[in-house]
Structure 1
Amino acid sequence: MSDFLFILTIFSIALAGIAVSIFYTKRETKRMKEEGEEGIIFKLLKQDLKEIRDEIQETRERNIETLQNQLKESSKIIAAITEKLTQIGETNKQVISFAEGLQSLENILRNPKQRGVFGEYYLEELLKNVFSPAQYQMQYAFKDGQIVDAVIFSKDGLIPIDSKFSLENYNRIVQEKDPAKRNIFEKNFKQDLKNRIDETAKYIRPYENTVPFAFMYVPTEAVYYDLLVNEIGTLKSNTRDLLEYAREKRVLIVSPNTFFAYLQAVLQGFRAFQIQESIKETIKNIETLGRHIESYDEYMKKLGTHLSTVVNTYNLAYKELNKIDKDVVKIADRPKSIEPLQLEKPSLD
């Protein structure tokens, strides 16, 4: 029994030792296994971290390059914008200058007296571009002291040109929105034009060597256009159309563009007149040459008459000489030695 207990004790101790050994072995194996997995994970993590770091570095470099390119493009855009702003600034200055010029022109056109000076100035510039100074005159005075803005000297007489025009009522027509008031301003403007036609017609003076018509110069195309195309020209003035009224008064209403065409026509008339004058001068010279030829013909006829007399005298003298020769032949009993030479008289035909 004691041996059995001893053996059982020894077996129990052995089993305990084996169990302890197995426990430690498993724990060590587990530890080593865990340490191996952690190493692999660490290596994987380390590799992933390196890849992430490399990717971050690459992304950073790309971002830096992209940012630099964007900065360059932004600099170009800023430079272009600055240049455009500079150009806009210059354009703005020009616009301001132009606006000031328009304001100045508007101020001129608001003042009737200054507007008249402006119209005369523009008219004179047109005349300068077409005619020589000897072919026209500004501010021409008639015998009664009336002064027309300009005249053109033509072969048919003086061509009067009046450049006065009215804008007050016209501007009111353009700006007014109320139909009733607009109708009043249209009637007033229509009356202004009729008065201008009457005033221009006063310069038609054939007894002072003017042609039987006159130009009414309207320096603004807008007024001229409204007069011809829009309703202003078709409204009745004393039951007659304004344009028809102007024709009856022998007044030609012209604008800067149409007046130039009229001037070209007048210029062609001047050229035709110059050609006609040149032809007259040529005919006069031919007539003078004809008279000289007639005088020369008279002298030639007289010379022919004198030559005929000389030839006749010559022939008579030869006849007398022939008679003397015959007498000599009879006396001297020798052959005839002189043969008379007869000349023909020059023809006077």
Structure 2
Amino acid sequence: MLTPRPLAAPRTAPSAQARRRARFAAALALPVAAAIVLAGCATAAEPAVVVSDDSSTQAAESSSAASALTGSSDAHQSAADVIAANQETHDDAGDAEYDTADAIEIALEGDGASADGEGVGVDGSTVTITGAGTYLLTGSLTGSLVVDSAAEGTVTLVLDGVDITNAAGAAINVVAAGEAVIVLAEGSTNTLSDASSYADDAEANAALYSAADLTITGTGALSVHGNGNDGIASADGLVIQSGTIEVDAVDDGVRGKDYLVIRDGDLEVTAGGDGLKSDNEEDAERGYILIEGGTIAVDAGDDGLDAPTRSTPTPTRTSRVRRSRPRPVTTRCTPSSSS
């Protein structure tokens, strides 16, 4: 149980070890009631970690850094206040639910595929889904699965023992959809692997890429190999509700431009760049990371957590974030709640 202590008086710059500890929140293990707000507008010499519960707020390293967390003189902003200022997420508690009777089955067959319903096109080793609905996928594909649906509604992909390898680009590329949901079927193991490089102007530049809001859910397992750039990326919001997910990427591990939310699940990320990232720098309500629960391990070459607005982990089990090599602490600025 964390014991509140008063805000520390301004002090001299902490050691490099203290800066790394505050910035990257190594080996966090908190009770359910606790919340952590990480890295606001602190300078490299004055990192801030605010731990709060219903009755108190604790600032580590310096009071000036804690005040900078919100961009105001109030260093006692609660985690709930920070979360309330963020854009609402797109996901729904029932995203993992589906009816196999209503699903269109797609059998991946090496360099091709077959489907038992409409809304699926197969052109060589490229399988394209063009309509909203639920699609149940099985088998292996050396090629790509593309979602390009102009229709309103959600495209739900149920992965039930799927292995997709694409040497020319993303393994799964959601070009367009009202919303995309990936369900990891119970007891299934699924693997996605992409190209070894991408053009500088490529939009889809991750093994699992979505131009639409993306939710990953279910109780199965997913292994993602980002050989050319990122592992999992969404150009909008990205929510991980559950599942056992392992990501290794040469650049960023898991990235949601507008927000990255982790509600539960087991997530292990190894990244050459940033581990968990949200990079919308234009909207004060976006560009945030929210961790509500789960078991999370991140080993990143750059930042373990990187978000320009605010990062708010509230883990119910264990979060472990570390960097694999030393690097000067970088800073990000948190807008005030009135901006």
TM-score, with structure 1 as normaliser: 0.17
Answer 1 or 2: which has greater helix percent. 1
Q: Which has the higher contact order (CA 8 A, sep 6+)?
A: 2
Bigger-Rg structure (1/2): 1
